[in-house]
Chain A
């Protein structure tokens, strides 16, 4: 005798009745996930080594310089004039951002494509632009910390060694704040979109990282050879093909410490033209990545 009736049993499942955070919530989640991923948070210890190692390399020189300035008798010396060091510490910071972007951009973009997670994300209240912008925001937030924290240390250090007291120092050095933020933005524009561009088109993280670093290195060296050694009409404009060098030049110009050996100076190109070229390159990179993800999501 077969039983033809059916039954549905209540196992206690209930529909979700809580808050639905919508598109902004989805964006915030992607940003938080991105920050965790690039810093290796909630992951194995070895995933933290490289990013936090870079953080330490970025921060320690500023801390050491300020420490030395405080403890060497007789106040500041020419070698430890913190007021003039913002630009040169930013050059180090820029190098660290380059390496960090090489790690972070592939880490954020490639696994989602490779593991098929994008199809899951596309069923969420998230557009392709939201996704790319959120991933970008994760990197920018961490990069901003990289770049601005050493500058903050220098700012406090400069104020702390001020002859008229720390509060007077804070006021007197306050003009460095908008400069620091501006230069941070310059390095971010110069380095991060390019890293996203390479990661957006690569299938493997290691290849994306290496192509990015190798390209930045190669562009710097090639630009240097063409600007300083070559002698043909228009060779100076090759200075603009090296985003890292351009960012360094703009950085030092903003802090009133231009480098006479920089490619822009040798090529007699105004730093604002350099800045404009960085914005153009960044815009093209961002456009290409957005277009690619419009097809994927």
Chain B
């Protein structure tokens, strides 16, 4: 357990140096600020609808993916760039343990930053409109699901190429925010929609709003979490294979 905790802790610390943590946290507060401005003259159901729509557009479709992509790509990508990959690889740890620990650490870092935004959004809504713990729980679950999916893709991609972040952002821009809108059957390949589907599974009164957004995905926590775990398993397997097969110079 000591090696796993050491690797987890070191990855987390390197993912979140002070300056980056502050900048990303400020970025994560953007949805809360936009919600305040958007819902200024709205109450009740209208405010709730604005919360869901605004959070989908700014949080799920933008802030969460950006943070998860940046932190996921860096988990192994930064080690490779800084030439410390050999330091990790030459340890008596199974490769799959290294892979899974990196994914877990990157996901923890991305979730922590995103939860800053989620908390800000929920507190803002609670103070200005209605206190509803279900909303917080829903966003937290959705965040974890989406972050796990993104990180599982970006960790191995960051190992393969130093352009992982730009590829991830291009994926977000062209595929998730373009192609999937036209072809809703591909929604399960959109991590943020997976997170939104999980959120809809908790905040059931918002399902009619999420219906158009999540496409063919089932709005249930169970199936979203299961899909996210498939992403994690696939990401771990791919990363393990890369660690075993590729030169670790």
List residues of chain A with CB under 8 Å of any chain B CB: 50, 95, 98-99, 102-103, 205-207, 209-210, 213-214, 217-218, 221-222, 224-226, 229-232, 235
Contacting B37 at CB < 8 Å: which of A210, A214, A218, A232? Answer: A232
Contact with A along B61-104 (1 / 0, CB 8 A): 11100100110000000000000000000000000000000000
- In angstroms, Cα B165 to Cα A1, docked, is 69
Which of A99, A103, A209, A229 counts the most chain B CB atoms within 10 A? A229
> When A95-B174, A225-B57, A225-B58 are in contact, do A235 and B165 touch as well, CB less than 8 Å?
no
Does B211 sit within 8 A of A, measured CB to CB? no
Q: Cβ of A99 and Cβ of B53 under 8 Å apart?
A: no
- In angstroms, Cα B169 to Cα A214, docked, is 7
Q: Cβ of B173 and Cβ of A229 under 8 Å apart?
A: no
Q: Cβ of A213 and Cβ of B40 under 8 Å apart?
A: no
Contacts of A226 in B (CB 8 A): 34, 37-38
Contacts of B174 in A (CB 8 A): 95, 99
Contacts of B61 in A (CB 8 A): 221
Segment 31-56 of B: residues with Cβ below 8 Å from A: 34, 37-41, 50, 53-54
- In angstroms, Cα B173 to Cα A209, docked, is 14
Segment 1-55 of B: residues with Cβ below 8 Å from A: 27, 30, 34, 37-41, 50, 53-54
- In the complex, besides A50-B163, A235-B37, 18 extra interface pairs with C-beta distance below 8 angstroms are A99-B170, A99-B173, A99-B174, A103-B163, A209-B163, A210-B169, A217-B62, A217-B172, A218-B27, A221-B57, A229-B34, A229-B37, A229-B39, A229-B50, A230-B37, A231-B38, A231-B40, A231-B41
Contacts of B183 in A (CB 8 A): none
Q: Cβ of A232 and Cβ of B34 under 8 Å apart?
A: no
Contacts of B69 in A (CB 8 A): 210
List residues of chain B with CB under 8 Å of any chain A CB: 27, 30, 34, 37-41, 50, 53-54, 57-58, 61-63, 66, 69-70, 162-166, 169-170, 172-174, 178
Chain A residue nearest in CB terms to B178:
A95
Chain A residue nearest in CB terms to B50:
A229
Chain A residue nearest in CB terms to B177:
A217
- In angstroms, Cα B50 to Cα A229, docked, is 8
Q: Can you name 12 A-B pairs with beta carbons within 8 Å?
A: A95-B174, A98-B173, A99-B170, A99-B174, A206-B166, A210-B166, A213-B166, A225-B57, A229-B39, A229-B50, A230-B40, A232-B40
- In angstroms, Cα B57 to Cα A224, docked, is 9
> When A95-B174, A229-B50 are in contact, do A221 and B62 touch as well, CB less than 8 Å?
yes
Contacts of A102 in B (CB 8 A): 166, 169
| Smallest CB separation, A111 vs chain B (Å) | 13
> When A206-B165, A226-B38 are in contact, do A213 and B170 touch as well, CB less than 8 Å?
yes
| Smallest CB separation, B47 vs chain A (Å) | 11
Q: Cβ of A218 and Cβ of B66 under 8 Å apart?
A: yes
| Smallest CB separation, A226 vs chain B (Å) | 6
Chain A residue nearest in CB terms to B165:
A210
Contacting A95 at CB < 8 Å: which of B34, B37, B38, B173? Answer: B173
> When A222-B30, A225-B38, A231-B41 are in contact, do A209 and B62 touch as well, CB less than 8 Å?
no
Contacting B165 at CB < 8 Å: which of A50, A209, A232? Answer: A209
